[in-house]
Structure formats: C-alpha cells, structure tokens
Amino acid sequence: MICKKCMSGNVSVQMTQDIKLRKKRKGILYWVIIGWWLQPLLWLFFTLPMLFIAIFRPKRYKLRVKNKKIAICQNCGYQWNA
Ligand SMILES: [Zn+2]
C-alpha cells in the first residue's frame, strides 16, 4: 500500500472498531455504584437479543459494530480508510 499524500510505501494498516470511538471511559465511582450491575443487565437485555436477531435474521438486522481498516502513513502521518 502506498500513501496517497507523500507516495511513501511505509504504511501500516490497523483494524479499529467504530463502537470504541463513541464510548467514554467511566470513572471508578461509576463502576463501584452502578457499573457492576448495570453493565451485565444492559448486556443481557440488549446484546443478547441483538445477537439472537443477528443470528436468526441476518438480512434484516445488522449489529452496529463495524470493523474498519485504517491505513496510517508512517512517513507523513496521513490516515485514510483502507
Ligand atoms: Zn505519507
């Protein structure tokens, strides 16, 4: 792969998940008070049904987690979707 900006061949490709970009890091207090029971509940009520939906109705529903390939030029720092 070649950088479109500087034509360097020194380009690395990384896999990123879109969903990670939207998540904010929670403080320790959040986890002590809420996180330990809320997260498993959310997972149970949202992720499990979503997985079932994704498995049994793959054409109508899609999981929102998208794996994106991003190429990063090691020479000039230019990034683009691979
Ligand atoms: Zn470059």
Is residue 1 included in any domain, yes or no? Answer: no
Residue 53: pLDDT above 60?
yes
Is residue 5 included in any domain, yes or no? Answer: no
Is residue 29 included in any domain, yes or no? Answer: yes
Is residue 33 included in any domain, yes or no? Answer: yes
Write out the residues surrounding ion ligand 1, Cβ under 5 A. 3, 5-6, 8, 73, 75-76, 78
Q: What is the mean pLDDT of residues 40-63?
A: 74
Question: Rounded to the nearest whole angstrom, what is the distance from the C-alpha of residue 67 to the centroid of ligand 1?
Answer: 23
Residue 51: pLDDT above 70?
yes
Is residue 2 included in any domain, yes or no? Answer: no
Q: Domain total for the chain? A: 1
Question: Rounded to the nearest whole angstrom, what is the distance from the C-alpha of residue 16 to the centroid of ligand 1?
Answer: 20
The predicted model scores a pTM of 0.41
Is residue 50 included in any domain, yes or no? Answer: yes
Is residue 6 included in any domain, yes or no? Answer: no
Residue 76 is predicted with a pLDDT of 96
What size, in residues, is the chain?
Answer: 82
| Greater model confidence, 33 or 5 | 5
Domain hosting residue 63, numbered range: 11-81
